[in-house]
Structure 1
């Protein structure tokens, strides 16, 4: 970046792509690493935390950055693929500096940090944080309620102190466009304290989606730091099978207490799932597939399939059953595949095009047998039916994969062979 270029606010760097000199994308920026300095000297920006295409987070020194412009970062093309590990003297700019409560040196007034800017030093390759964008007023106040201003780094104090009750508004605004799986990855790499603060600031539905993508240990940790009533609300917002998996990790007393706080209908679905062995069709299934009565039409089915919150696997077919049409249903009659729905006129009754030849799974079917079933019939979901012929739920391929992959699969990269680090990069690792 040429000397004298405009400063860059770090919120604009969150999630931007990182390219090598040939124009190939190597990853995305997930945070920035800075080192605070004594006195009022601006922090030195050490580098970027980059999530490469295999979802590993690596450290990219600023000396390897040749350009930061037009919504992208350009590197020299030489990357050390070892996993980034934060040192005690380092601070994550997005994760730890935004939303802090600091004081203006001149007046002593407490303000909230909304953003900070970085700038490359003239005639050098070094970068530093030079300014802070802050808002006056009480924590959590609406932006329009408090005056905002940009001040020199030296004009504020309090960044080096341990933060208690740090907010999460600015950090969440920075990452609001992330998919749940990507936001889960952000949370996983935050400190436990910061992770709890961000989780507390998410609304119930968003937190439920993110929890479903986190490792078991993180799920239990976050749920344990929520008040019981809030924890029950979040469990209600989760898919029943994911809620059951999470509750199964808790001590029996905690599990029963949370189930008692949930809405009876939601708790009943989860209790049904908890009654099955974990690695069986009953333990893997969701209790909320698309269920239609025989007199429903193709138009009715397509309207259900189009529901935004439905996963692609569950939207791949509808299940035709006699009333009641909530699991456990009346007699299961068969399924209709999405492609068949597209081929028939809207007024066609689903009962006339149902596929009744494909055998359903019993709730006690083992995980290997479920896997073989999906592979044999080229399915992404399968019905689970009890001895009386009632549909209990559906097993989807994503739930099967979650149980087939190693417990640490979210931390496992596609390519585990790191490049040889340079001397400079090795000094960081």
Structure 2
């Protein structure tokens, strides 16, 4: 081994390579099991491999840990990781935990954990980096820290209703995209997942919920009080918020709509008035809408906004006033590639795509999918009976509708051999020689 002691928080996000230098995946956590007398034993790493799947890497397969990277040998089990009884994730479940220090008064919080090599393929928890409560009232002050051995701490059982801090865990997830964070949270034990949801900001939690299956969205929202739930719904895309509210009881849904910002609630109520399998039920009410006199320069500036979804930034909608759905008469769309071919002062009203017909708000989802596929579109405008623009349906809206409910799950297998043995039946081979097109 190239290192005998490493801190787990620093391992988060580290790349895992095979002996030939090809990247296998990225470390997301360290898995340990408790022992009656000794420090917890490290049994393996939770590694995210291509396809965003998290798998188990037996610690016996790890030949080197150091310099921000891990070298592995042998074969890696491809089955999706599922936590078993007695196993504890260091980053997800230990960091932020309250402990009592033996021989000292008061409690401390675990901020990091070091693991140490005891022999080839044998690692255990060595020390904990703990922070005690601050001793001054200053908002900038922090409590004193110390390194303590495992045997010098007593784990503190949380009181009923007391939430374990998830600050350190959230910090380790800060680099994840919403879809990846959603997957990471769904891998956590239920209580820990809810703790993380509680501590995420409203906009971050909204982004994450949009990437989760509806049943998990409902489970999390049901754990939030009405005021917080309404704030999160305000931050979601109106179509996603409408889909989520539709899964709640009528009483809870109406209560949350009453607490939401009036403009956001109005958009959601509007979407709820359409069937889920219609263009009206699939669309979003927040496309870019401009007048015919808007210039190319102004249109390009609008699609550059950081918070705009790529599918919505692919084109702008041109209508008569008013410019909020339902708008004045819909005139047409201008795709961003067309804008790039004209000078900045060109008016968008002269660049309308005459070949693209808008679809009715009552069009069936299957018809919407056919149009998007037939004309290679990423979005299509939706109009009402008076030819007013009411929204657009994007390709991701249609995919969410067409894919099965469990499409986010990449693995449906439930039975596995012991993960602590070196045998595996579904594996990624770690190459011993370079091949032309090997995949990990």
Query: What TM-score results when the alignment is normalised by the length of structure 1?
Result: 0.93
Q: 1:65 aligns with which of 62, 66, 70?
A: 62
Say if 2:124 is the partner of 1:136: no
CA distance in 1, matches of 2:156, 2:24: 32
Distance, in Å, in 1 between the alignment partners of 2:110 and 2:200 is 19
1:85 partnered with 2:43: no
Match of 1:168 in 2: 166
CA gap of 1:56–1:156, structure 2 versus 1, over 3 A, is: same
CA deviation profile, 1:244-266 (whole Å, cap 9, x unmatched): 11111111111111011111110
CA RMSD of aligned residues (A): 2.5
The secondary structure found in structure 1 opposite 2:76 is coil
- Partners of 2:33 and 2:158 lie apart in 1 by 14
1:400 corresponds to which residue? 398
- Is the CA contact 1:383–1:391 (under 8 Å) kept in the aligned structure 2? yes
Displacement of 1:216 after TM fit? 1.1
Which of 91, 94, 97 is the equivalent residue of 1:94?
A: 91
**Superposed, which structure 2 residues align to 1:271-286 within 5 Å?**
271-286=269-284
Residues in 2 aligned to 1:128 and 1:409: alpha-carbon distance in whole angstroms = 37
Whether the aligned pair in 2 keeps the contact of 1:79 and 1:421 (CA below 8 Å) is: no
**Separation in 2, partners of 1:48, 1:142:** 37
Cα distance 1:137–1:420, how it changes in 2: closer, same or farther (>3 A)? Answer: closer
Question: Which residue pairs with 2:122 in the alignment?
Answer: 126
- 1:143 to partner: Cα distance: 7.6
How far off its partner does 1:23 sit? 2.5
Structure-2 residue corresponding to 1:152: 149
Map 1:243-392 → 2, pairs under 5 A:
243-392=241-390
Using the alignment, how far apart are the partners of 1:6 and 1:301 within structure 2? 57
Q: Size of the alignment, in residue pairs?
A: 423
How far apart, CA to CA, are the structure 2 residues paired with 1:405 and 1:352?
A: 38
| Counterpart Cα distance in 2 of 1:81 and 1:61 | 12
Question: Which string of whole-angstrom CA distances, capped at 9 and with x for unpartnered residues, describes residues 125-157 of structure 1?
Answer: 200111111111179x97842122222222221
Structure 2 distance, partners of 1:77, 1:249, is 46
Q: Provide the secondary structure at the position in 1 that maps to 2:390.
A: strand
Q: CA deviation at 1:425?
A: 4.2
SS at 1:245 equivalent: helix
Q: Which segment drifts farther, 30-39 or 244-253?
A: 30-39
User: Offset of 1:159 from its aligned partner?
Assistant: 6.3
Matching residue within 22, 25, 33 for 2:23: 25
- Note closer, same or farther for the CA distance 1:143–1:153 as it changes in structure 2 (3 Å cut): farther
Please state whether the residue corresponding to 2:64 is helix, strand or coil: strand
Deviation at 1:108, TM superposition (A): 3.3
Stretches of structure 2 that go unaligned for 5 or more consecutive residues are 427-440
Contact 1:97 1:159 in 2 (8 A): no
In structure 1, the partner of 2:438 is none
* Distance in 1, Cα, partners of 2:274 & 2:265: 15
2:207 maps to 1:209: yes
Is the 2:134–2:142 contact (alpha carbons within 8 Å) kept by the matching residues of 1? no
Q: Does 1 or 2 have the higher relative contact order (CA < 8 Å, sep 6+)?
A: 2
Give the deviation of 1:54 after TM superposition. Answer: 2.3
Change over 3 Å in CA distance of 1:221–1:263 after alignment to 2: same
**Which residue is equivalent to 1:45?**
42
Cα separation, 1, equivalents of 2:410 and 2:425: 22
**2-structure distance, mates of 1:373, 1:189:** 37
Distance 1:182 1:77 in 2: 27
Q: Distance in 2 between matches of 1:160 and 1:61?
A: 30
Question: For residues 154 and 209 of structure 2, what CA distance do their matches in structure 1 show?
Answer: 35
Contact 1:27 / 1:50 at 8 angstroms: preserved in 2? yes
Sort the Cα spacing of 1:73 and 1:90 in 2 relative to 1 into closer, same or farther, 3 A: same
TM-superposed deviation, 1:28 = 1.8
In 1, distance between residues paired with 2:42 and 2:158? 19
In 1, Cα distance between equivalents of 2:306 and 2:139: 30
Alpha carbons 1:113, 1:135 under 8 Å: kept: yes
Structure 1 stretch displaced more, 11-20 or 228-237: 11-20
Q: Secondary structure at the match of 1:137?
A: coil
CA distance in 2, matches of 1:33, 1:226: 29
2:436 is matched with which residue? none
